[in-house]
């Protein structure tokens, strides 16, 4: 049986999982794809490091250039992390005619347009299923299974660390710092969890999903990103009492302003932020480190994908899926090399024009007339109030809590109204402002 040579750039958690499962499932893979996958070389930082299993010492290297120079390597798997060195590796591999598999979401979000332009020019495919949502096959779903659909919307819980923290804040009534410390102790959060809690890990994945769904590469400067690091246990509790769960949600939508009823000339919106989700919605029940992605297409309707979004085995499963497809691609021509651009959806809509429902909590002096002042300002900015809650209990400073659920308004309207509200002497900053998603599409 023909052998396909693989070069692994990175033999950390995921790389070790790829090596292990390629070896363990060798016979199954041979039966299903008709070739044998063989890891011929791996690039590591420290070849002397003790490893439970992996390539022999003779197969290890500290130079990724060795993968490019080795004629026995057909597919290069980039699992190094970072930006600059992986970008240089992928450029060199594609230029040399070697198929690339990568799980590097940050690299693709920042340099995807360049990478896929080079792939198309050289007619060398780049595969990246492992970049988004771990073991959930969402990239192949959007790119292949839903190819006949205009994608109406995508809603995703696509960062397991933040979802674990929010789950613990909700179920165990922990504050943010306690939940984060627990996540780190359990191994669900890195020692430096910045990209998880500030929303950018999920944002990088949202860029990839949006770009695939709508045919143009979305810039990281075109999206709105807000993390969970400023969330308080107070707002988690109020949301729960109002019938909602708070999730860090990636929202990708086409504006239904096109003349044919699709997105057409209307553009799209891409945003990642803490969001109130009704408890009865299936995404509200996604807990712990699990991920879920809801995709709505104009033909298929609503679909839902659920599974582990990170970890050695789920991510290795996604990498090996790409390896199998890459091996098959070596035997014939392809019409696409990872990303197919088109101009059906315009561009990203500016944040100021995006409309949402809102949850607003204010700390106010407990005296008559404050609610009326706040309502008057909201009315002047054409922001409607759907409900108001004012608990009898006060905070540590003796201030009353005023919680308002607001009707749909643009970001511009809401920010202008909030600026005026904060000028009231009876209102104490900072406010808590969260968006609410109703899943109408």
Q: How far is CA 433 from CA 68, 173, 389, 397, 416, in A?
A: 50, 20, 15, 20, 13
Max distance between CA atoms of the chain, in angstroms, equals: 83
DSSP state letter for 394? B
In the set 205, 253, 279, 367, the catalytic residue is 205
What CA–CA distance (Å, rounded) separates 279 from 264? 33
Cα separation values, 222 from 151, 206, 208, 315, 342, Å = 19, 12, 13, 28, 18
**Annotated catalytic residue 205:** yes
Residue (of 192, 175, 172, 291) closest to 228 by Cα position: 175
Tokens standing for 246? 């708070």
69 to each of 5, 111, 301, how far by Cα in Å?
13, 24, 47
Rg (CA), the chain: 24
What gap in Å lies between CA 233 and CA 239, rounded to an integer? Answer: 10
DSSP per residue, 341-388: ---SS--BPPGGG-EEEEEEEEEE-SSTTHHHHHHHHHHHTT--EEEE
Tell me how crowded residue 257 is: count the other CB atoms within 10 A of its CB.
Answer: 14
Give the SS3 label for residue 138: helix
Is the dihedral angle over the CA atoms 147, 148, 152, 153 positive or is it negative?
Answer: negative
- For the chain, how many residues are written? 441
**Residues with catalytic annotation?**
205
């Amino acid at each position: 049986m023909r052998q396909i040579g693989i070069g692994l750039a990175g033999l950390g958690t995921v790389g070790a999982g790829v090596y292990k499962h390629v070896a363990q499932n060798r016979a199954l893979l041979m039966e299903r794809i008709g070739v044998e996958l063989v890891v011929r070389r791996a690039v590591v930082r420290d070849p002397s490091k003790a490893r439970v299993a992996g390539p022999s010492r003779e197969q290890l290297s500290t130079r990724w250039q060795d993968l490019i120079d080795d004629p026995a390597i057909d597919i290069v798997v980039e699992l190094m992390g970072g930006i600059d060195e992986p970008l240089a590796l992928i450029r060199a591999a594609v230029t040399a005619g070697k198929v690339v598999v990568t799980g590097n979401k940050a690299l693709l979000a920042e340099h995807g347009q360049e990478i896929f332009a080079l792939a198309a020019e050289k007619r060398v495919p780049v595969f990246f299923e492992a970049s988004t949502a771990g073991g959930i096959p969402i990239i192949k779903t959007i790119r292949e299974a839903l190819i006949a659909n205009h994608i109406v919307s995508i809603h995703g819980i696509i960062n397991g660390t933040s979802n674990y923290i929010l789950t613990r804040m909700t179920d165990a009534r922990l504050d943010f710092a306690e939940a984060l410390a627990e996540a780190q102790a359990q191994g669900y959060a890195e020692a430096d969890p910045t990209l998880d809690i500030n929303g950018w890990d999920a944002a990088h994945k949202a860029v990839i999903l949006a770009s695939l769904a709508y045919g143009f590469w979305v810039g990281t400067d075109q999206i709105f990103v807000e993390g969970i690091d400023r969330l308080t246990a107070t707002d988690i509790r109020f949301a729960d009492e109002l019938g909602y769960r708070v999730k860090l949600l990636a929202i990708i939508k086409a504006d239904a302003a096109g003349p044919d009823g699709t997105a057409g000339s209307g553009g799209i919106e891409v945003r990642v932020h803490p969001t109130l989700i009704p408890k009865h919605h299936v995404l509200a029940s996604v807990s712990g480190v699990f991920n879920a992605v809801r995709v709505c297409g104009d033909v298929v309707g609503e679909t839902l994908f659920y599974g582990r979004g990170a970890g050695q085995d789920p991510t290795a499963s996604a990498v090996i899926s790409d390896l199998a497809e890459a091996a098959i691609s070596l035997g014939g021509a392809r019409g696409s090399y990872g990303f197919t651009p088109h101009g059906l959806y315009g561009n990203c809509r500016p944040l100021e024009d995006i409309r949402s429902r809102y949850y607003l909590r204010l700390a106010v002096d407990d005296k008559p007339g404050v609610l009326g002042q706040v309502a008057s300002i909201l009315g002047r900015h054409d922001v409607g109030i759907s409900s108001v809650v004012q608990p009898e209990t006060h905070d540590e400073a003796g201030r009353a809590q005023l919680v308002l659920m607001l009707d749909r308004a643009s970001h511009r309207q809401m920010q202008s109204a909030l600026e005026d509200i904060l000028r009231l002497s009876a209102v104490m900053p900072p406010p808590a402002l969260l968006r609410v998603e109703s899943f109408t599409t």
